[in-house]
Structure 1
């Protein structure tokens, strides 16, 4: 069971996983050793899946985001497994969700330019059969982030 301090620690780590334990401890009003033990427990219990650095996409040359919506006529396990392998092999595809509704999948693709989408598109369709692909270019990011609302953590 998590308490408010655990949730505060999770929020601090989501904001900056590189923050020192001393700084986190001060922000959540704990001693450094108590804070360190809590962080270790949160990792051991799986609340913290991993710590990563979030790169500045424009700075590393990937300012463009394209969302591709995919419909397929295939839903067998072998097709899905092949699809998983195809998308795993393309580093520009950073997120994929299986959907309800008209489309089966949505892909978030980060690119150096809009024109590079054609390279990714051709890589996909050469390796797997798709019924329909439609893409939308993100014009502006209004909200972005990996941080989860910690109020729901139990």
Structure 2
């Protein structure tokens, strides 16, 4: 049975509320979804056990922490073997500035999302990345205005 088949309407309401505020009390959550606190707790534990809830985190303001520059890095490679991919995955996972790395369709091979202080900081990230894994072409786009950024899934 697929996980989505076991997630009912009440679970979706719970998940929507937790995506807005994962620190909400069980009493307040129960009031919002019309369940007792114990029923909410049981459902949350079941969703965690099923892997639907992967983690509960705090969302931070990057600019207030000196990470005001968002950058998307486009990567093209001439190597498409498993060893290169393993090396690339290890390199991107080891760099805390890299928030996401994605293998893409089309003429772009990989897209990397990163947060850095400024262009100099990006250059240091770039230098470390190319020192760890051979890349045929790298280009970057710097975010001028963040119009929408959310972690909330549409349930």
Q: Which TM-score tier does this pair reach, normalised by the shorter chain? A: over 0.9
CA–CA distance in 1 between the matches of 2:53 and 2:12?
11
CA–CA distance in 2 between the matches of 1:129 and 1:75?
11
Hey, what does 2:3 align to over in structure 1?
none
2:144 paired residue among 133, 136, 139? 139
Hey, what does 1:93 align to over in structure 2?
98
Hey, what does 1:56 align to over in structure 2?
61
1:26 paired residue among 7, 10, 31? 31
CA–CA distance in 2 between the matches of 1:89 and 1:34?
39
TM-score (ref. length: structure 1): 0.94
**Alignment gaps of 5+ in structure 1:** none
**Alignment gaps of 5+ in structure 2:** 1-5
- Root-mean-square deviation (Å): 0.9
How far did 1:33 drift? 1.2
Hey, what does 1:130 align to over in structure 2?
135
How far did 1:114 drift? 2.1
Hey, what does 1:75 align to over in structure 2?
80
Runs of 4+ with deviation above 6 angstroms: none
Secondary structure at the residue paired with 2:38? Answer: helix
Secondary structure at the residue paired with 1:135? Answer: strand
Hey, what does 1:43 align to over in structure 2?
48
TM-score (ref. length: structure 2): 0.93
How far did 1:134 drift? 0.7
Hey, what does 1:110 align to over in structure 2?
115
2:14 paired residue among 9, 13, 29? 9
CA–CA distance in 2 between the matches of 1:29 and 1:125?
53
CA–CA distance in 2 between the matches of 1:57 and 1:84?
24
